[in-house]
Amino acid sequence: MAKQYDVIVIGGGPAGTAMASGLKAQGKSVLIVEADLWGGTCPNRGCDPKKILLSAVEAKQAATNLQSHGLAGIPKVDWPALMATKRGYTNGINDGTLNGLQAQKIETIHGQAYFQTDGQLTVDGEVVNGTDIVIATGQRPAILPIKGHEYFKTSTDFLDLDAMPKRVTFVGGGYVGFELATIARAAGAEVHLIHHNDRPLKEFDPELVKALMANLTTQGVTFDLDVDLKQITKTATGLTLSDGQGFKLDTDLVICSAGRLPNDDHLGLENVGVTVGRHGIQVNDHLQTAAAHIYAIGDVSDTPVPKLTPLAGYEARYLVGELVKSGAAITYPVVPTQVYASPKLAKVGVTAVQAAKAPTKYRISSLDMTKWFTYYRLQTPQALAKVVVDRQSGLIVGASCLSEIADEMINYLTLLIQKQISLSEMQKLVVAYPTPASDLQYLY
């Protein structure tokens, strides 16, 4: 007879494992199903490996910035050693995650889950029943359906390259393209980034994106804008990319970085009436799908927030509460997003573009911080910020930053925004000086 669980979680990534752990701690019987690597995208082929590779880039950039200003000599990226360091982390993720789940006495199955009826799944043929089912299957890189698309590699491949090819091209100017282009360039590759219009990173402030591109161009990245790639051809020595309108580029590796697709196919959702859209599985504000006992969280779920690891955990914690005792609709905090390029670009809350539409409500400060002490001492080529302040309350409600430490700044700013910390409160806080945090009072 098929085993019966209180909850079956499909997907063993950050969302699914947080869900399973939370439910188990609440006394629920839980089965978690994973078709690929336990741990999911983030630690295996996402944020974590990317940031390990970025460590070498950051240290190299820091030394580069200080040439003629206090350091002599620029270290080279040692790609095989860097990849070994990455693998030293990622190689342990699958087993470590699985062991962690089993140590919590959460049942696990490896295989492809498929909905038979509401409440019943098969996993590679084995039938399992769950009172509630939570889908947390994440996303995967999209592949543009052009001629020769079989030559596309993805971020997953890039993050596990044994050697850095001489010429690397990214197709698609989202955060993945910018981040991996930065890494490839620092590792010595000739890098192109192709984008179909002239506005990559469209959700970020246009002026800061332009400044980021200028910095990357100085570092040697070539941007091919307004190129609508049509074809990849294999040649004797590599690949040729073309748009059929005169653009031609020879390269050794082409990464499709044109967005990510929800893993909502192959699940048999049509059997249970769960509906999907372009941005994933449709859910209400209780993260419930069109089927009452089926929920979706994390990257696969069409929620009004960016697809980020901490939101996976956030949604899991909410849904654990819901499945124990249903309550209020989910609400989200302000969510910072960042591009780990060189320099880094980050934003949170109300953007300057949004604020400019309501000038009586918002004040926008455009700050060139390049000569501020914090950046002078690092000799960063450029440090910019746009800060949006609510005129009535005097509180910061949004910010964008471009600098080597934009991720640190955006975290502080997120705390200021979420906890509604005013300038006078900030001035009553004593933080270490001189640090990025001690600059905060100058951002209001």
> Within positions 321 to 350, which residues make up the interface with a second copy, using CB under 8 A?
332-338, 346
Nearest approach in angstroms of CB 155 to a second copy is: 17
Q: Which residue from 405, 408, 403 is spatially nearest to 383, judged by alpha carbons?
A: 403
Helix (H, G, I), strand (E, B) or coil at 304: coil
**Under 8 Å CB-to-CB from 238, ≥6 apart: which residues?**
167, 250, 251, 252
Selected from 25, 59, 324, 356, the binder of a second copy by CB under 8 A is 59
Choose between 157 and 407: whose C-beta lies nearer to a second copy: 407
Choose between 130 and 138: whose C-beta lies nearer to a second copy: 138
Residue 51 sits in the site that holds a second copy (CB under 8 A): yes
Rounded Cα distance, 393 and 420, in Å: 9
**Under 8 Å CB-to-CB from 18, ≥6 apart: which residues?**
312, 313, 316, 317
Choose between 24 and 347: whose C-beta lies nearer to a second copy: 347
Nearest approach in angstroms of CB 95 to a second copy is: 16
List beta partners, residue 67.
Answer: 71
DSSP H helical ranges for 12-46: 14-25, 41-45
Identify which range of 4-12, 271-279, 284-292, 307-315 contacts a second copy by CB under 8 A.
307-315
Nearest approach in angstroms of CB 97 to a second copy is: 14
- Scan residues 371-430 and list those touching a second copy (CB under 8 A): 373, 376-379, 407-408, 410-412, 414-415, 418-419, 421, 427-430
Selected from 4, 6, 26, 47, the binder of a second copy by CB under 8 A is 47
Identify which range of 40-48, 152-160, 257-265, 355-363 contacts a second copy by CB under 8 A.
40-48
Residue 311 sits in the site that holds a second copy (CB under 8 A): yes
Q: Are 299 and 307 in contact (CB under 8 A)?
A: yes
Selected from 4, 26, 63, 144, the binder of a second copy by CB under 8 A is 63
Binding mask 73-112 for a second copy (x = CB under 8 A): xxxxxxx-xx-xx---x-----------------------
Using CA atoms, how far residue 174 sits from 35, 49, 51, 352, in Å, is 27, 18, 17, 20
Choose between 221 and 316: whose C-beta lies nearer to a second copy: 316
Nearest approach in angstroms of CB 363 to a second copy is: 20
List beta partners, residue 390.
Answer: 362
Nearest approach in angstroms of CB 285 to a second copy is: 16
Nearest approach in angstroms of CB 179 to a second copy is: 13
Nearest approach in angstroms of CB 101 to a second copy is: 19
Structure tokens at 400: 């964008």
Nearest approach in angstroms of CB 74 to a second copy is: 7
Q: Are strands 231-234 and 222-224 parallel, antiparallel or unpaired?
A: unpaired
Choose between 302 and 407: whose C-beta lies nearer to a second copy: 407
Choose between 221 and 339: whose C-beta lies nearer to a second copy: 339
- Judged by CB under 8 A, the number of residues near a second copy is 75
Residue 437 sits in the site that holds a second copy (CB under 8 A): yes
Phi (first) and psi of residue 324, to 5 degrees: -85, -45
Q: Which residue from 288, 292, 323 is spatially nearest to 25, judged by alpha carbons?
A: 323
Q: Are strands 396-403 and 384-390 parallel, antiparallel or unpaired?
A: antiparallel
Residue 160 sits in the site that holds a second copy (CB under 8 A): no
Rounded Cα distance, 363 and 389, in Å: 5
**Under 8 Å CB-to-CB from 190, ≥6 apart: which residues?**
166, 167, 168, 220, 222
Rounded Cα distance, 309 and 12, in Å: 13
Identify which range of 54-62, 115-123, 192-200, 201-209 contacts a second copy by CB under 8 A.
54-62
Instruction: Give the distance from CA 254 to its chain's centroid.
Output: 20
Nearest approach in angstroms of CB 243 to a second copy is: 35
